[in-house]
Structure 1
């Protein structure tokens, strides 16, 4: 969950910065491009474990490149122009200045948005770049960050939080986020219960009115009260989010096993077992640093009770 939060924050931050560059350039306010050189120098060094320096701070007349790492022999041009003519000009200057003798690779980092060039390579027999692998934009950088270790990704998020003047504040409503996080938590493929059990046809009438007849009024009242507030939320989350069917099956499998264990532990009392099940998941969310919407979490578990994934019907038992 921390990884997902960090990546979402990094995407939001870099996307916001990319738009700022785009808008500034449309107004011919190009100072932001110059300021971006040092920003991306530090960001790339964090992300790629490199030692880039700002070449322009050493040589004001430097051509073709803005950042250089002589140890790893990589050069980068930081630009907001994606035209093919600009790319050709950059490579031509790189060769003319014999920079290929210092650097084995030239990367063009577009801080706005790159274009997909038709030629697979640009240059000549002396030096050439691969237009697919050597031209990056924010999307390419995020993919590379996503493959880093958790502590490295956290450092990048912290760097962005500290250096960006405006921090995006968009977030999901807490009830929606609670349900999504519960699904991610319960469907974790590393959980030992994953792959066990099969889904049954649900018989909520038999379950609630017959098997748990002593508690039927409580269970139905609890479900319908929560449904008024969270029914539409859950329906929207399941229809509009990118939750896979695999995750939905995993949720069902885990809930069946864990709820059955708790029901046995509580001598068949669904009220006690349900409370313990909800407390268990709310506690896990809290340990993962998320303050859940308790009602949304409770309704999600109750919905699975009606679907017979909580307290699965092994047989119909009269009250």
Structure 2
């Protein structure tokens, strides 16, 4: 699902940014803190429909305030220090006398701020500040992202990708999953899709056995590629005896983890697809294709793994190949 892909990408980038800010701060490298002021201004503008800009545009080095939105009467501080003392120190600054009627938001860019939302704060200038709503951290942001409409998630994904996509990307490695996707993507999958070797009755029996009736249409759409994928696996294995096995194992690993976490077989099935897509997108050897094509190819892999007994339980006497 696109929603899962967008959220996972945003989550990874923001968590990694917060980690880097925290670790670099320990050795007094603070360049990311400076750049983060404008980044988080734009991020919150997307999430909260604000018009925050860096206050340095108007006034240099204002203590206690980093961002301002004059249209919505909002001030914000962006900080890698996340303590009660830090927030109270900001609220006590004389600068707030110049912004009567403004709301104040505190943005923790590298540390969890959950405990801070339960405290009462000294607020001598009576700034509009509600800790439960106005203390924002990465967790708060991700919760908003998770519940955003898909079109806004996509806009945010594009923004994060442009800002953080290459500068703080994690180390990528080659994967056999990406290789087989590259192979499938280059094939004309509309040709010769008949698969006389598979026993549709047996596959339907396994679907019923695992309470997967809700995904039967998906199974039917992609099981027809069994024969073509079988050919590709055979070619693939000529390069190394464990190549196709490694693909089955990584798909099975996702299944084993998810079946312990999720309640329904339906959720497990589609979450396996999402997890496999994430692995491929993070692979160094993945040749980028339109997301819809990637999702289609991964559906083929996962349905095939289901047919071949690699994921989900088999009913007694299950035989997916016609003899």
TM over 0.5: yes
Q: Deviations over 1:269-312 (max 9, x none)?
A: xxxxxxxxxxxxxxxx965744228555313134369327x99x
Match of 2:108 among 88, 107, 110: 110
Cα separation, 1, equivalents of 2:119 and 2:306? 51
Aligned to 1:147: 147
Aligned to 1:292: 298
Cα separation, 2, equivalents of 1:162 and 1:173? 25
Cα separation, 2, equivalents of 1:148 and 1:201? 32
Task: Tell me how far 1:91 sits from its aligned partner.
Answer: 1.1
What do you get for the CA RMSD once the two structures are aligned? 4.1
Aligned to 1:72: 72
Aligned to 2:263: 245
Please list, as runs of the form range in 1=range in 2, the aligned pairs for 1:34-113 lying within 5 A after superposition: 34-93=34-93, 97-103=96-102, 105-113=103-111
Q: Is the 8 A contact 2:209 2:315 kept in 1?
A: no
Q: Which runs of 5+ in 2 are unaligned?
A: 181-206, 212-233, 235-243, 270-290
Aligned to 2:191: none
Q: Which runs of 5+ in 1 are unaligned?
A: 179-197, 203-224, 252-284, 312-319
Cα separation, 1, equivalents of 2:210 and 2:40? 56
Q: Is the 8 A contact 1:175 1:293 kept in 2?
A: no
Please list, as runs of the form range in 1=range in 2, the aligned pairs for 1:249-264 lying within 5 A after superposition: none
Cα separation, 2, equivalents of 1:247 and 1:58? 56
Cα separation, 1, equivalents of 2:13 and 2:248? 33
Cα separation, 1, equivalents of 2:37 and 2:210? 60
Q: For residues 32 and 199 of structure 1, do their structure 2 counterparts lie closer, same or farther at Cα, with a shift above 3 Å needed?
A: closer
SS of the residue corresponding to residue 93 of structure 2 reads helix
| Matched positions, count | 239
Task: Tell me how far 1:169 sits from its aligned partner.
Answer: 5.9
Cα separation, 2, equivalents of 1:118 and 1:295? 45
Aligned to 2:120: 121
Cα separation, 1, equivalents of 2:97 and 2:76? 15
